[in-house]
Amino acid sequence: MILVSLITAGYVGLGVRLVDIQVLQHDKHAAHALDNTRRKVIQASRRGDILDIRGTVLATSRIAKTVCADPSLMGTHQQLVARAIAPFLGRSETELAKRMQRRVYTDAEGRQREDKHVVLKRKVLLEDWRGITNALAHIEFGVDVKSQPRKERLKYYNVRRSVFCERVDSQLRVYPSGNLAAHVTGFVGVRDPEGSSVPMVGLEGKHGVEIMLDSELEGVRGWRETETDRSRREVVAFREYNVKPRDGMNVVLTIDANVQYIVEKGLEALCAKHTPASACIVVVNPQTGAILALANRPTFDPNKPGDSSAANRRNRVITDVFEPGSTFKIVAVSGALNERVVRLHDRFHCENGRLYFAGKVLRDHHAYGELSVREIITKSSNIGTAKVAMKLGASRLHKYISELGFGQRSGVPLPGEVRGILHPVRSWSKLSISRIPMGHEIAATPLQLVMAMSAMANGGNLMRPLLVDRLLDRDGNVVMQYKPTVVRKVIHDETAQQMVKTLITVVSAEGTARQAWLENYTVAGKTGTAQKPSKTRRGYEPDKYFSSFIGFLPAENPKLCIGVFVDEPHNGYYGGVVAGPTFKVIAEKSANYLGLEASMPVKPMSEQKPRVVLR
Amino acid sequence: MSRNRKKYDSPLIVGSWIRAVLLCLLLGGTAMGYVWQKSQIHQIGTEVRKKEMRLELLKGDNEGWQQVRAEMRSTQNLYDRVRKLGLGLAMPQPEQLLRLSDLPLDAKELKQSKPGEYRTVANKPRRKRP
């Protein structure tokens, strides 16, 4: 009787427990069971490549793994595991073994927990991960594992699976050309997963085109809802949703890697000779506004952006402003010619190098007497330019300055572009009309200056800088083609032609940029040598200069507009002396590379003296 | 009568047996089929998984080779190779370039070419002799 009662009670107890588990606690256990088997896997999309106009890869991506370890499964075999995987991770055995030591941490609720997820290295390439799994599978423990009891065998098995990779793949961004066009391509960083409900391990643009076209490059992540078995292997039959990732688009830039290389080499040579605080060069096609090359010094390697300072990563072509100096004289003179207040052969007296105006003295570097408007540009006379500007008037001068793009962003798709400084006419002092035409009391970015010079070269159209030529999908189909855009027509064609003729004389024996003269191409351009404003007191630093030369070629049908800007050069400071030779080297090599038609008939090789070309 | 009854019963029993056997076979077959189908699904799933992993590895390899190709084609690398191998390659000089300007076929006047300029001339079909 007692036995029957006990059995009955037992059955009743089991029944109650069954009801408790299956009915009362159903939701909790069902969720737990589901949690054990259900997996939501995020599939990373491949970040698109960045290519130059000829298809040279400037940035590409590779799928990579984040390698982790669970020290609780290792027992005392940390050193052994470290020895096996260290060659693939590029870390020392000691460092890895130390990292894989068992440790506890206190969670948010104040409980002590063992750390079972130690990140050993991020961005490990697939072939290295394959090497790691292979090395772990063949790890030697010094005993015959198969002959061990089941419990012991399980321990060794756990050691082999103690190193694993995260479920979501990461990517490794590679810049095969190193620092070539580093300020254009920019670099990437790890996406901040803060505030995201799903694990989002991915790359995020941090600078350059990488950040400006981040959404186009990134693509769309895929995801999969599936179930796993006891060994955490996916059971494909239980896949419910499987949304494939859509890879990011490839971005084709207007940059030409070869021209960029020529520019980088020219810039290196310039920096070696003049040791400036910084220097930058921009090469633009004046007809389209397409940027063919853009380089800065100091620079950085986008493969290791952390190794460089923020100053090195700054794209000075658009983020730094300078008083441009004499290169700015083209604005006042072109404006005056366009308004027909002066003609090229009109003559102005240049006061023998000293003009008293508004209580201050305006000086020329040489004592000039009477000069024509053309000669004012050729000789770069400050007094002559000031007199031309006075004839034009402050409001019209301001109009031409702003219409040529100064005081506003050019719209180049790069981060951090500044407007420059252009004060409204009402804020101008009496002196301003004599100072602004020669590039003082105004600040502009190098890119603004090059685009303004391009407007002179192409017949008076201010172009929007074009950096991205097209977007391609993974199959190479064009998704978006960017067209050259005319921002506005600033000066008439005839005025532009007059300016070109005038600027050609600058690069002649009488001009300030004879060092920029080329044998086979007619070059037009303007030099600039500006003293730098003092940061500590009023006025200018006596021996700090900003030297520049902006020129274009062939002058009659320009295909290249090159701006060379040097901040605080040593061993000379005149724009023609510092920037001119670099312009010459870059212009000659780039024109030869692009196969530009020579401006004048070229002597056949048989008639030329043999010469050695050293490059 | 009882004989007759037996005569009549016998086919009925056999029929029942046959039906029972058929039913069992059907049930067994269905069960076997179900298991076989599940096994096939599992097997195909495993194969799909393996192939996906293989595809992933191949994609990784492909990316690796693409990177190698990109590095080999990088401007810096090409210039270094030219220098290292002493190939003496340089940009073409303007005097080394021959420019060909194609005249339209219906151009009536062949202008005198400039010195240093080379022009292609369209081949005119020869007149047939009468």
Residue A195: pLDDT over 60: no
pLDDT reported for residue A601: 64
Cβ atoms of residues A526 and A499 within 8 Å? no
Q: Are residues A211 and A292 in the same domain?
A: no
A379, A501, A505, A512 from A556: Cα distances, Å = 22, 9, 13, 20
Q: Are residues A235 and A261 in the same domain?
A: no
- Residue A29 domain flag: no
pLDDT reported for residue A359: 84
Distance CA A401, CA A399 (A): 5
The helix, strand and coil proportions of chain B, stated in percent and rounded to the nearest 5, come to 65, 5, 30
Averaged confidence pLDDT in chain B? 78
Using 50, 70 and 90 to split pLDDT, how confident is the model at A611? very low
Domain residues for the domain of A442 are 257-551+562-602
List the Cα angle A9/A11/A13 in 5-degree steps: 65
Which residues of A, range 366-385, sit inside 8 Å of B by Cβ?
none
Average pLDDT over residues A194-215: 78
Cβ contacts of A125 on chain B, cutoff 8 Å: 60, 64
Residue A309 DSSP label: -
Give the domain CATH number at A262.
3.40.710.10
- Give Cβ neighbours of residue A6 (< 8 Å, ≥ 6 apart): none
Q: State which of A219, A253, A287 marks the end of a domain.
A: A253
pLDDT reported for residue A221: 86
Of the candidates A51, A73, A114, the one whose C-alpha atom is nearest the C-alpha of residue A253 is: A51
A121, A133, A472, B59 from A129: Cα distances, Å = 11, 6, 31, 14
Q: Provide Rg for chain A, Cα atoms.
A: 34
For chain A, percent of residues with pLDDT exceeding 90: 60
Cβ contacts of A56 on chain B, cutoff 8 Å: 70, 73-75
- Residue A185 domain flag: yes
- Residue A93 domain flag: no
Q: Are residues A433 and A521 in the same domain?
A: yes
Distance CA A249, CA A470 (A): 10
ipTM > 0.90 for the complex: no
Q: Are residues A223 and A307 in the same domain?
A: no
Q: Tell me the torsion sign for CA atoms A434, A438, A443, A447.
A: positive
Q: Are residues A438 and A494 in the same domain?
A: yes
Predicted TM-score of the model (pTM): 0.82
Averaged confidence pLDDT in chain A? 89
Of the candidates A108, A248, A261, the one whose C-alpha atom is nearest the C-alpha of residue B75 is: A261
Cβ contacts of A176 on chain B, cutoff 8 Å: 67, 70-71, 73-74
pLDDT reported for residue A607: 58
Give the domain CATH number at A135.
3.90.1310.10
Q: Are residues A320 and A216 in the same domain?
A: no
Q: Are residues A231 and A270 in the same domain?
A: no
Report the chain A residue with the minimal C-alpha distance to residue B64: A62
Nearest to B75 among A130, A257, A592 (CB): A257
Least reliable range by pLDDT among A142-151, A342-351, A446-455, A547-556: A142-151
- Residue A171 domain flag: yes
Helix residue ranges, H only, B74-117 = 75-85
Distance CA A466, CA A497 (A): 24
- Residue A17 domain flag: no
Q: State which of A201, A221, A253 marks the end of a domain.
A: A253
Distance CA A518, CA A280 (A): 21
- Residue A389 domain flag: yes
pLDDT digits over A395-408, tens only?
999 999 999 999 99
pLDDT reported for residue A545: 92
- Residue A15 domain flag: no
pLDDT digits over B65-95, tens only?
888 888 888 888 888 888 899 888 877 777 7
Q: Are residues A478 and A573 in the same domain?
A: yes
Cβ contacts of A236 on chain B, cutoff 8 Å: 44-46, 48-49
- The domain total for chain A is 2
Q: State which of A190, A222, A253 marks the end of a domain.
A: A253
Residue B3: pLDDT over 60: no
Q: Are residues A247 and A287 in the same domain?
A: no
Residue position matching structure tokens 């940029």: A513
Which residues of B, range 32-91, sit inside 8 Å of A by Cβ?
41-42, 44-46, 48-49, 56-57, 59-61, 63-64, 66-67, 70-71, 73-76, 79, 90-91
Q: Are residues A445 and A458 in the same domain?
A: yes
Q: Are residues A345 and A487 in the same domain?
A: yes
pLDDT reported for residue A612: 42
Residue position matching structure tokens 């420059």: A420
Which of B63, B66, B71, B82 is the mutation pick for testing A, counting most A CBs within 10 A? Answer: B63
Q: Are residues A264 and A351 in the same domain?
A: yes
- Residue A8 domain flag: no
For chain A, percent of residues with pLDDT exceeding 70: 96
Average pLDDT over residues A326-342: 94
CA distance, residue A236 to nearest chain B CA (Å) = 5
Average pLDDT over residues A221-247: 85
Q: Provide Rg for chain B, Cα atoms.
A: 44
B30: phi then psi, degrees, rounded to nearest 5: -60, -45
Average pLDDT over residues A303-319: 93
A144, A551, A598 from A290: Cα distances, Å = 68, 16, 21
Residue A286: pLDDT over 50: yes
Average pLDDT over residues A91-104: 89
